[in-house]
Amino acid sequence: MAPRTRYSLDRLLTALLATALLIAGCSSSSSPKNSAAGGSCPYTFALITHGDNGNFWSVVYKGAKDAAKDTGCKLSETYGSQQQGQAEPDDAAENAQIQNAVNAKVNGIVVSDHAPSVMNATLAAAADAGIPVVLVNAGCTDADIAASKALTCVGQPEQLAGKQAGQRFAKGNATNVLCVIHQSGQNLLDRCDGIAQGLGVGDKCGTGDAPAAGPACTELILSTPNAASNPQQAIGQVTAYLQAHPGINAVMTLNNAVGQALVVAKPANVKIATFDLSQDVQNDLQASPPTMDFAVDQQQYLQGYLPVQFLYLYNKHEGNAVGGGTTVASGPKLVDSSNIKSVAAAIAAGDD
């Protein structure tokens, strides 16, 4: 091979420099930073819920804030109608906040449709005014999505979640289930009804006294005001009910604080499961032996994150919409001792 001339070496160096610059350019353009980041997104979205700032809703809000940061968009408010110390969400206050967002002419509304009879007309008026709506957590039925004229709902289909929980109890021969309801809300009743369906005892979870043996599902509505914030007080009603109905062999709580308080109370010969995760529930599932049978994870971070992304895409890309008028499911995901490690990092990061 003939030796390279100075001319050929110069050409080679030039080519190598051009290649290096091209690679650097590609690396820069493929940076994970969103092109909308840094405030270039012109859209403002309102996030309005019936929740508080507790373990569950703080994760929803974190997801929404992360999505706004990733897109460069703005959240005009993060509002929960249930303030600290209140026993129940304030649906009239939430509906007023929806109207305030409409008056402010935001570019989209993320809202938990906690009281469809109160809120659907206001949400439909928002949609008629050209403001896209995405429901979150509550209102995730095709009927409410249609009545509110929302694009979709991001949440957990509650009857499906209850059904899977009932099937899980049945596999473990825990078929006389008490479903503990800590506050009013049709979505909680749907969870209990789903348990009945999973157990194969009809479409509805029963009321009144639990039978001596299963398969059966029985509802217990807690009378303690704001039971989720006062679980130790509320759990006295549950333990008294179990003592009066010794045939019950499983309890499903619909709130993780109530579920963990029941674990601490240590009822005998009863399997315990709950909805939603927390550090305490993680500890219960990882104990040896586990002190809780399983938990239903609805992955609420997604309930905050996805709606903001959906509204951004709708505004940015010519009305592209997700969901087709039905629910985009964020859950259910059953978590027990066999898979808790896979979600432990998310719990530690505040993402679950």
Length of the chain in residues, anyone?
352
Of all residues in the chain, the percent with pLDDT exceeding 90 is 61
CATH of 158-297, one of 3.30.450.20, 3.40.50.2300, 3.40.50.620, 3.20.20.70: 3.40.50.2300
Specify the pLDDT at position 58: 86
Specify the pLDDT at position 33: 40
Between 254 and 91, residue with greater pLDDT: 254
**CA-closest candidate to residue 349, choices 61, 59, 64, 68:** 59
Mean pLDDT of 221-249: 89
Q: Please write the tens of the pLDDT for every residue from 13-59.
A: 344 334 343 334 433 333 334 444 445 899 999 999 888 777 788 89
Tell me the pTM.
0.75
Mean pLDDT of 312-330: 92
Mean pLDDT of the chain: 85
Task: Kindly list the domain boundaries of the chain, sorted by start residue.
Answer: 44-156+300-334, 158-297
Specify the pLDDT at position 144: 93
Specify the pLDDT at position 17: 38
Tokens for 286? 């990882």
Q: Please write the tens of the pLDDT for every residue from 125-183.
A: 999 999 999 999 988 889 999 999 999 999 999 999 999 999 999 999 999 999 999 98
Specify the pLDDT at position 184: 75
Specify the pLDDT at position 79: 59
CA–CA distance, 275 with 253 (Å, rounded to integer): 7
Specify the pLDDT at position 139: 84
What band does 328 get if pLDDT is binned at 50, 70 and 90? very high
Q: Please write the tens of the pLDDT for every residue from 105-141.
A: 999 999 988 889 999 999 999 999 999 999 999 888 8
What band does 1 get if pLDDT is binned at 50, 70 and 90? very low
Measured in Å, how far apart are the chain's first and last C-alpha atoms?
65
Q: Which amino acid is at 186?
A: Q
Mean pLDDT of 190-201: 96
**CA-closest candidate to residue 255, choices 274, 279, 235:** 274
Within this chain, domains 44-156+300-334 and 158-297 share the same CATH topology: yes
Between 97 and 350, residue with greater pLDDT: 97
CA–CA distance, 143 with 120 (Å, rounded to integer): 10
Specify the pLDDT at position 40: 81
Asked whether the CA dihedral 146, 151, 155, 157 is positive or negative, the reply is positive
Q: CATH topology for 44-156+300-334?
A: Rossmann fold (3.40.50)
Specify the pLDDT at position 88: 66
DSSP sequence for 232-297: HHHHHHHHHHHHH-TT--EEEESSHHHHHHHHHH--TT-EEEEES--HHHHHHHHSSS-SS-EEEE
